[in-house]
């Protein structure tokens, strides 16, 4: 059969395209099926991450941060710019160009590594010794035969019951990345990573942003100290407001406005009962960012008996093997953090497993980053997790305020916090809120992958003046060795 492959990857996001390229590099005849199309209706590899996720959001975060610097921070450096203004169309065009360049880059890597792309929706038709995958694109269908299948179908925005997304007034991440002008009043339902990042972009450009969060607290997945610091820093800015403990009652678009009716669990107690206050918020745009759901729609899982769990994830073991022989699943469609780098690492692991190698992915050392200002990044356990599992630990913490490079940058808020085992001193978690946290966290990941102790970090020479000295000082502080230079 002409369309017979050693490996067929379904999905061309950071999980799928990386898996396909690695498999081809290892000598396996590989195809990738991906149904993403750009605004011109052309195939656009890279999945959520490159098209409407990590990359475009970071492009807008950079543009909006530059705008904010020019408008409010340059003056402190003696740089005077009068009448700073934002050209939203130019900002969006820059973002789109970055996306186009990167998707084209993935396509050229496919060519270079001889991965055959089949644009369209792939679905299992039959199993057995070899799997049959049907690819549908418009009216056309093609059938592929595969010895191994890697499911990398990613995730989609989790819907909010009763709220219809039009991606104009009521948007998910797709619409939030392309508002044609700065909305005066913006609400975001969900104060998680995506809600915070998108809210930050438009707040910096001048929107009055209200974040509505159902959970009783803020950033509950982060270390409590970091979450507290972040809440203090983010919401001291005028025009950025957080309301936690909300329940959405109704969302309605009327004319050019969106009305959000919600209730809040009141703080004051009335005869032992929590008060519930009904509220209404009227905005120009609403972003719904209540998380992501695994995507197995149209995959034909039933046709072959591919096991999907109650939450919609493809069930896999530690090596991403599904319940069927020679079928693997990776990335957002399986358990674990929904992060691009985790998807890619699983892609490499699975390709190498198929080629007979013995790779592994350590889910305990996946770094998390929130690209707010200041950035937040962490790896390993939070302090509340260590307490909950009764682990004896010591903590060291050091602020950016005392760091020369941070002072020169004018970015002195935040701190680094290191958690180490009380007996062995082995690092269990590192948490950063501060400038370039996304870059600094790499040292923490390397340290944890090599089972380093906090003393190891304390004895490594860090360049002066650099932000990494704050990591060094936090490590010294774990054992009260701080120099306080």
Ligand X SMILES: Cc1cc2nc3c(=O)[nH]c(=O)nc-3n(C[C@H](O)[C@H](O)[C@H](O)COP(=O)(O)OP(=O)(O)OC[C@H]3O[C@@H](n4cnc5c(N)ncnc54)[C@H](O)[C@@H]3O)c2cc1C
Q: Assess whether 464 carries a catalytic annotation.
A: yes
Identify the CA nearest to 110 among candidates 46, 173, 67: 46
Cα 184 to chain centroid distance, Å, stands at 26
Binding mask 317-346 for ligand X (x = CB under 6 A): --------------xxx----xxxx-x---
What would the x/- binding string for ligand X be over residues 180 to 199, using CB under 6 A?
--------------x-----
d(CA 253, CA 195) in angstroms, rounded, equals: 20
Helices and strands in the chain, H and E counts: 14, 22
- Distance between first and last Cα of the chain: 70
Alpha-carbon distances, residue 410 vs 61, 421, 437, 467 (angstroms): 18, 34, 15, 12
Which among 43-51, 80-88, 235-243, 266-274 is the span making contact with ligand X, rule CB under 6 A? 43-51
Does 33 help bind ligand X (rule: CB under 6 A)?
yes
- Considering only 295-303, 315-323, 351-359, 457-465, which stretch makes contact with ligand X by CB under 6 A? 295-303
Measured from the Cβ of residue 36, the count of other Cβ atoms closer than 10 Å reads 20
8, 31, 35, 458: which one contacts ligand X (CB under 6 A)? 35
DSSP H or E run through 372: none
* Catalytically annotated residue among 72, 360, 462, 464: 464
Closest CA to 281 of 308, 258, 307: 258
Strand pairing class (115-119; 4-10): unpaired
**By rule CB under 6 A, what count of residues binds ligand X?**
37
Distance, CA of 163 to CA of 248 (rounded, Å): 10
| Closest CB 29 distance from ligand X, rounded Å | 19
Instruction: Tell me: does residue 54 bind ligand X (CB under 6 A).
Output: yes
Q: Does 48 bind ligand X (CB under 6 A)?
A: yes
For ligand X, the closer of residues 33 and 320 by Cβ is 33
* Minimum separation from the CB atom of position 174 to ligand X (A): 8
- Residue 115 · residue 206 · CB < 8 Å: no
**Site stretch for ligand X (CB under 6 A), options 53-61, 235-243, 405-413, 442-450:** 53-61
Among 8, 22, 47, 115, binds ligand X (CB under 6 A): 47
Convert 91-121 to b/e letters by CB count within 10 Å (16 or more is b): bbeebbebbbebbeebbebbeeeebbbbbbb
Phi, psi of 462 (to 5 degrees): -110, 140
Binding of ligand X by 11 (CB under 6 A)? yes
Shortest distance in whole angstroms from residue 122 CB to ligand X: 4
Least spacing, CB of residue 15 vs ligand X, in Å: 3
**Burial classification of residue 126, based on how many CB atoms lie within 10 Å of its CB (0-12 exposed, 13-18 middle, 19 or more buried):** middle
Nearer to ligand X, 33 or 441 (CB): 33
Torsion of CA 98, 166, 253, 155, to 10 degrees: -80
CB 178, CB 356: distance < 8 Å:
no
Rule CB under 6 A: say whether 12 interacts with ligand X.
yes
Which residues ranging from 115 to 174 are in contact with ligand X (CB under 6 A)?
121-123, 152-155, 173
The HSE-up count of residue 306 (CA atoms within 13 Å, CB side) is: 30
Q: How far is the CB of 33 from ligand X (least distance, A)?
A: 5
Q: Figure out which of the listed residues 5, 8, 16, 380 binds ligand X, where binding follows CB under 6 A.
A: 16
CA dihedral for 10, 16, 17, 22, sign (positive or negative): negative
CB of 445 to ligand X, least distance (A): 13
Residue 395: CB minimum distance to ligand X, A: 27
In the list 7, 9, 13, 229, the residue contacting ligand X (rule: CB under 6 A) is 13
Find the binder of ligand X among 162, 216, 217, 298 (CB under 6 A).
298
Restricted to residues 207-266, the positions that interact with ligand X (CB under 6 A) are: none
Interface segment toward ligand X; rule CB under 6 A; list 50-58, 108-116, 320-328, 428-436: 50-58
Catalytic residue list: 464
Where does this chain bind ligand X (CB under 6 A)?
A: 10-16, 33-36, 47-49, 53-54, 57, 121-123, 152-155, 173, 194, 295, 298-299, 331-333, 338-341, 343
């Amino acid at each position: 059969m002409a369309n017979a492959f050693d490996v067929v990857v379904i999905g061309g996001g950071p999980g799928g395209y990386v898996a396909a390229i690695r498999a081809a590099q290892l000598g396996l005849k590989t195809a990738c099926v991906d149904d993403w199309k750009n605004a011109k209706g052309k195939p656009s590899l890279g999945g959520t991450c490159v098209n409407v996720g990590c990359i475009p959001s970071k492009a807008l975060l950079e543009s909006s941060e530059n705008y904010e610097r020019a408008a409010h921070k340059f003056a402190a450096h003696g740089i005077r710019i009068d009448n700073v203004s934002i050209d939203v169309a130019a900002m969006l065009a820059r973002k789109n160009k970055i996306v186009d360049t990167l998707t084209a880059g993935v396509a050229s890597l496919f060519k270079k590594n001889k991965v055959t792309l089949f644009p369209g929706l792939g679905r299992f038709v039959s199993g057995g010794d070899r799997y049959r995958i049907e690819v549908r694109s418009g009216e056309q269908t093609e059938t592929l035969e595969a010895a191994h299948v890697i499911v990398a179908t990613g995730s989609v925005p989790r819907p909010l019951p009763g709220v219809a997304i039009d991606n104009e007034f009521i948007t998910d991440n797709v619409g939030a990345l392309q508002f044609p002008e700065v909305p005066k009043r913006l609400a975001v339902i969900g104060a998680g990573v995506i809600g915070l990042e998108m809210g930050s972009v438009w707040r910096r450009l001048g929107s009055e942003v209200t974040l509505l969060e159902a959970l009783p607290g803020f950033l509950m997945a982060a270390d409590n100290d970091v979450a507290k610091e972040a809440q203090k820093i983010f919401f001291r800015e005028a025009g950025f407001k957080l309301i936690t403990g909300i329940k959405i009652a109704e969302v309605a678009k009327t004319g050019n406005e969106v009305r959000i009716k919600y209730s809040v669990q009141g703080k004051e107690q009335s005869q032992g009962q929590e008060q519930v206050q009904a509220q209404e918020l009227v905005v120009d745009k609403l972003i719904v960012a209540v998380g992501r759901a695994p995507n197995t729609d149209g995959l034909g899982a039933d046709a072959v008996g591919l096991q999907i769990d109650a939450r919609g994830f493809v069930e896999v073991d530690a090596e991403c093997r599904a319940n069927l022989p020679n079928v693997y699943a990776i990335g957002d469609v399986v358990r674990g953090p929904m992060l691009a780098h985790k998807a890619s690492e699983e892609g490499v692991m699975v390709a190498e497993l198929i080629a007979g190698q013995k790779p592994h992915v350590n889910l305990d050392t996946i770094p998390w980053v929130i690209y707010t200002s200041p950035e937040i990044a962490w790896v390993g356990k939070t302090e509340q997790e260590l307490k909950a599992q009764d682990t004896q630990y010591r903590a060291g913490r050091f602020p950016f305020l005392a760091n020369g490079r941070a002072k020169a940058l004018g970015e002195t808020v935040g701190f680094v916090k290191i958690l180490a085992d009380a007996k062995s001193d082995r690092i269990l978690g590192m948490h950063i809120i501060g400038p370039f946290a996304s870059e600094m966290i790499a040292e923490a990941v390397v340290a944890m992958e090599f089972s380093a102790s906090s003393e190891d970090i304390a004895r490594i020479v860090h360049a002066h003046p650099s932000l990494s000295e704050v990591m060094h000082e936090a490590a010294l502080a774990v054992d009260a060795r701080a120099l306080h230079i």
